[in-house]
């Protein structure tokens, strides 16, 4: 699940149509005939409608090709970076690019259906590999072999309105770190009246299941067992998540009467200054400002409440199983140049971003460790144009949390959990124990088929 919305990507992807393009155009496996160059097709180029991002992407490819005259990079674009409706068909039909975009949750699936090249023997070509956070590298490691390279990552936290905190007598520099504190603060914010909501949550279009998962992780629970074979939501931790939502909704009246919300609804509430808190990742903040009427000075980030774990997500690139060794060498070089050089490239050239009025200084994505991270953060800080102090609590608090990826068969499971969450938020007498039992049984069925 993308943090900014349901399957929404940071930038857009190229999709090759098997009707319009030959197999050689997507995942050719050959050098340019007679040119002596190694050709690679790549996706996730921003669409023409995103003029600035697309120009950056093209500039960076041109700079890479100038430094590597023996490599020809052919980029494909469309929106979104990956369309779940066509992803598997494109893989199976041999139409995937040589270097292709994936969500973190795709990694094992692509390996299991034997569509990914094993990158392990070639990692020496990727200068940045050891600088990437291990927990992100591990997502693309299956049975000890590396099949992909992370590009971005996010973790969930608590976005809150500093102005409403002040008006409610709360310290805007001390956001809640437990669910009991979230409940208490939400009640005080809702008491301001005039349509103000203390805390909002999603409960439709699979987004309710996504947030239930994040809240369950935060309490130390899990959605499935460690071996991924059985459901694990019918537990004390699962009960605590639903009971807390029920009590905020019906006892405290701090979640408002309108429910079955999705991300756009909640973003509208926060942007209009009528919402105190909701769960999200840092990349929601520019959307709240640019699209929903919010103000950077009023928006802040706290850590994921609960103190145990936070849900992480993100994306990376995998390589077509038909790629030649030369194409894998070239593709890894391209990733290093494009995305994995601290403080430089498409995602890290903060000076260029600032010059084009893009937000610089958000705490994530944070891909690197050690000296690479220090350099990346130094360049980011030097070009910051947003109030970075508003995000310090998030940085400090999330560092101590376990980072957990989404469950297998995430979208099917989220669909089940949507019904569980929506029932609690729309029915005062909802039977939480029965809802969890039913959800557990349905998830078991999904995993058995999987």
DSSP per-residue codes, 263-326 = HHHHHHHHHTT-EEEEEE-TTHHHHHHHTT---GGGEEEEPPTTSSEEEEEEEEEEEBTT--HH
CATH architecture of the domain covering 23-154+313-382: 3-Layer(aba) Sandwich (3.40)
Tokens 């807390």 identify what position?
244
* Main-chain phi, psi angles of 320, to 5 degrees: -60, 135
- H/E segment holding residue 180: helix 179-190
- Distance of alpha carbon 82 from alpha carbon 9, whole angstroms: 8
Question: Helix (H, G, I), strand (E, B), or coil: what is residue 113?
Answer: coil
pLDDT of residue 32: 60
Residue 158 sits at φ, ψ, to 5 deg, of -120, 110
pLDDT of residue 15: 31
* E strands, 97-156, in order: 99-103, 141-142, 145-146, 148-155
What DSSP letter does each residue of 80-101 carry, written as one string? Answer: SS--HHHHHHHHHTT---SEEE
Tell me the domain boundaries of the chain: 23-154+313-382, 157-311+404-449
10 Å CB burial of residue 408 (0-12, 13-18, 19+) is: middle
Tokens coding 445? 């069925």
Q: Report which DSSP code applies to 341.
A: S
Is the alpha carbon torsion for 69, 74, 80, 83 positive or negative?
negative
Query: Which of 103, 82, 131, 130 is closest to 312 using CA atoms?
Result: 103
The pLDDT of residue 83 is: 84
| 313 and 1 Cβ atoms separated by less than 8 Å | yes
Contact 331, 147 (CB under 8 A): no
What phi, psi does 276 have (nearest 5°)? Answer: -80, -45
Q: What tokens appear for 308 in the block?
A: 């145990």
Name the burial class of residue 236, with classes exposed (0-12), middle (13-18) and buried (19+) by CB atoms within 10 angstroms of its CB.
Answer: exposed
Q: What is the pLDDT of residue 404?
A: 94
pLDDT score for 20 = 32
Q: Is 41 helix (H, G, I), strand (E, B) or coil?
A: strand
Same fold, 23-154+313-382 and 157-311+404-449: yes
Spell out the per-residue pLDDT of the chain, length 450, in tens. 666 543 333 333 333 333 233 333 344 445 565 578 999 999 999 999 889 999 999 999 999 999 999 999 999 987 788 887 889 899 999 999 999 999 998 999 999 999 999 999 999 989 999 999 998 999 999 999 999 999 999 999 999 999 999 999 999 999 999 999 999 999 999 999 999 999 999 999 999 999 999 999 999 999 999 999 999 999 999 999 999 999 999 999 999 999 999 999 999 999 999 999 999 999 999 999 999 999 999 999 999 999 999 999 999 999 999 999 999 999 999 999 999 999 999 999 999 999 999 999 999 988 999 999 999 999 999 999 999 999 999 999 998 999 999 998 998 999 999 999 999 999 999 999 999 999 999 999 999 986
Residues in CB range of 264: below 8 A, 6 or more apart: 5
- Three-state secondary-structure class, residue 329: helix
Measured CA distances, 378 to 56, 347, 400, 424 (Å):
21, 15, 22, 45
Q: 219 and 306 in contact (C-beta within 8 Å)?
A: yes
> Topology of 157-311+404-449 in CATH?
D-Maltodextrin-Binding Protein; domain 2 (3.40.190)
**Is the backbone peptide bond immediately before 366 cis, with ω within 30 degrees of 0?**
no
Neighbours of 207 (CB within 10 A): 23
- CA 417 to CA 280: how far, in whole Å? 18
3-state class of 153 per DSSP?
strand
CA distance 103 to 110: 11
The residues with which 39 forms a beta bridge, in sequence order, are 72
Give the residue from 36, 37, 17, 38 showing the smallest Cα distance to 26: 17
Compute the distance between CA of residue 319 and CA of residue 142 in angstroms, rounded to an integer.
14
């Amino acid at each position: 699940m993308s943090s900014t919305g349901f399957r929404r990507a940071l930038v857009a992807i190229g999709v090759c149509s098997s009707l319009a393009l030959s197999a050689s155009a997507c995942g050719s496996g050959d050098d340019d005939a007679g040119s002596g160059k190694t050709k690679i097709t790549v996706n996730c180029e921003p669409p023409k409608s995103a003029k600035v991002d697309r120009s950056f992407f093209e500039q960076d490819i041109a700079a890479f090709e100038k430094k590597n005259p023996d490599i020809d990079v052919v980029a494909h674009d469309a929106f979104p970076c990956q369309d779940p409706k066509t992803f598997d068909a494109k893989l199976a039909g041999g139409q995937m690019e040589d270097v292709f975009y994936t969500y973190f949750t795709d990694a094992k699936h692509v390996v299991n259906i034997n569509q990914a090249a094993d990158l392990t023997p070639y990692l020496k070509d990727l200068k940045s590999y050891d600088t990437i956070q291990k927990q992100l590298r591990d997502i693309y490691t299956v049975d000890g072999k590396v099949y992909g390279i992370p590009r971005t990552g996010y973790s969930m936290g608590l976005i809150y309105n500093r102005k409403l905190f002040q008006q409610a007598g709360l310290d805007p520099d001390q956001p809640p770190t437990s669910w009991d504190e979230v409940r208490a603060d939400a009640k005080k914010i809702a008491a301001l009246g005039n349509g103000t909501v203390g805390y909002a949550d999603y409960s439709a279009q699979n987004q309710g299941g996504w947030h239930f998962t994040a809240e369950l992780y935060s309490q130390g629970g899990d959605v499935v067992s460690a071996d991924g074979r059985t459901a694990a939501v019918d537990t004390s931790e699962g009960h605590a998540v639903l009971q807390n939502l029920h009590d905020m909704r019906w006892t405290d009246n701090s979640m408002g009467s309108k429910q079955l919300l999705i991300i756009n609804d909640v973003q509208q509430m926060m942007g209009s200054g009528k919402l105190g808190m909701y769960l999200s990742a840092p990349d929601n903040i520019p959307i709240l400002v640019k699209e929903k009427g919010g103000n950077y000075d009023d928006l802040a980030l706290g850590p994921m409440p609960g103190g145990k774990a936070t849900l992480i997500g993100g994306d990376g690139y995998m390589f077509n199983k038909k790629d030649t060794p030369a194409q894998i060498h070239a593709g890894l070089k391209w990733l290093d140049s494009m995305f994995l050089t601290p403080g430089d490239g498409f995602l890290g050239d903060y000076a260029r971003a600032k010059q084009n009025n893009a937000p610089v200084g958000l705490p994530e994505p944070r891909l690197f460790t050690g000296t690479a991270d220090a350099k990346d953060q130094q360049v980011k800080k030097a070009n910051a144009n947003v109030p970075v102090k508003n995000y310090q609590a998030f940085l400090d608090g999330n560092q101590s949390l376990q980072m957990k990826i989404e469950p297998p068969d995430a979208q099917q499971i989220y669909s089940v959990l949507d019904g569980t969450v929506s029932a609690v938020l729309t029915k005062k007498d909802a039977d939480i124990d029965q809802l969890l039992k039913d959800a557990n049984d349905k998830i078991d069925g999904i995993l058995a088929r999987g």
